Amino acid sequence: MYQANWKRAVIKVGSSLIAPNNNQCSQEYLGPIAEFISTSRKQGKQVILVSSGSVAAGRGKIRHKHRPSITEKQAMAAIGQTQMMANWAGLFDFDCAQMLLTSDDLHNRSRYVNIKNTLRELLKNHALPIVNENDTVAINELKVGDNDNLAAYTALVAEADTLIICSDINGLYDADPRYNTNAQLIPEVATIDSRIYQLAGGAGSDMGTGGMQTKIQAAQKCVDSGIQTLIVNGRDKNVFTELAKGRSPGTLFIPNKSLDNARDNWLRHTLKAKGSIEIDQGAQQALLQHGASLLPSGIIKVSGQFSSGEAVNITYNNTAIAKGIVLYGATDLAAIKGLNSQNIEASLGYFLGEVAIHRDDLVLL
Ligand code: GLU
């Protein structure tokens, strides 16, 4: 069942909604989506937008033959990206924040940590992050390639609990609705197997690079990490009233584990601890009793070699009580251990943040 009480959603909007005529941005379909985002935020929910449309929006600005080259598309994206951002910004009375990412960025540990920290800071400040692929720098192997998978990666790095893919089709059908009038919409998918991929067929009508295949790939990445995923028709404004009423109007992919379990398992079992941090009694109480972040002031000793973004064991009386992902590397943590957070910058000459380990990056053992 669709969990309407989600806390953090990534909403992916495809090119066919942003630039339906494939040559410039339009607000034709964006009003109901923007209203859904604004209403959700007013309810205290957090939203991250993954928006396509930069290539389509800039298409008319770059001279090209029938099929544009990669370089021509990159130039289109560079022009179209600012228009796409302005198009969204015109629909909101809060700040929109542009984030351009590549696959390379998401697979590089320190860049991944920076993306995660920036997202966290933007959400804390009530801005709306708007993510797209950085088309200027990304070709072929550097690219995620389609914004469906980019949206899934964004949901993972943002630790979202929901991904909503807005397309120009109602969801996944049991046959191709373009050729088969009896095709039925599949309201819920509990397991993504080869049959589901077969139903997804080839690329769809979307003007972006994705079709139903990439949507299923995105859904699979998310449900495996406890993130519910919906494919809905973003052209139909009733879809957003339905969502607001707590109903799933398209195809819902049900997560195969709970989000907390997925995150905890990943931290606990998949990430290898590269060192350990011994903490004092005050910090131990703050962690165990108040679910607090670990501050440098509570650290007594740092052991092992690790960099920012790697995992360490947190020990008290030399017994591991928690595991977490550090904001600072071993050398820097050793330099700031025992210090008040306001003295971090004076000690290191830079300041990443006041915590050694953020509570969202920590699991108690
Ligand atoms: N990054 C491309 C754009 O903004 C979109 C890729 C896609 O839609 O899958 O035009």
Domain ranges for the chain, please list them.
Answer: 8-258, 271-364
Which atom, in ligand 1's list, is nearest to the CA of 208?
A: 8
Determine contact, residues 34/42, Cβ cutoff 8 Å. no
202 pLDDT more than 70: no
Task: Give tens-digit pLDDT for 107-146.
Answer: 887 888 899 999 999 999 999 999 999 999 987 667 777 8
Domain spanning 271-364: which superfamily? PUA domain (2.30.130.10)
Which atom, in ligand 1's list, is nearest to the CA of 84?
A: 4
207 CA → ligand 1 middle, Å? 9
More confident: 297 or 271: 297
Determine contact, residues 328/352, Cβ cutoff 8 Å. yes
Binding-site residues, ligand 1, Cβ < 6 A: 14-15, 52-56, 77, 132-133, 135, 146-147, 208-210
User: Residues of the chain with pLDDT > 70: what percent?
Assistant: 97
Residue 99, phi then psi, degrees to nearest 5: -130, 115
204 pLDDT more than 50: no
Residue 59, phi then psi, degrees to nearest 5: -55, -45
Cβ partners under 8 Å of residue 304, min gap 6: 273, 274, 275, 276, 312, 330
Which atom, in ligand 1's list, is nearest to the CA of 73?
A: 10
Domain spanning 8-258: which superfamily? Acetylglutamate kinase-like (3.40.1160.10)
pLDDT class of 175 with cuts at 50, 70, 90: confident
Which atom, in ligand 1's list, is nearest to the CA of 56?
A: 10
pLDDT class of 34 with cuts at 50, 70, 90: very high
Task: Give tens-digit pLDDT for 180-190.
Answer: 889 899 999 99
Q: What is the predicted pLDDT for the residue at 209?
A: 54
The pLDDT mean for the chain works out to: 92
User: Residues of the chain with pLDDT > 90: what percent?
Assistant: 76
pLDDT class of 261 with cuts at 50, 70, 90: confident
State how far the Cα of 171 lies from the Cα of 251, in Å rounded to an integer: 5
Instruction: Pick the residue whose CA is nearest to atom 2 on ligand 1.
Output: 52
21 CA → ligand 1 middle, Å? 15
220 pLDDT more than 90: yes
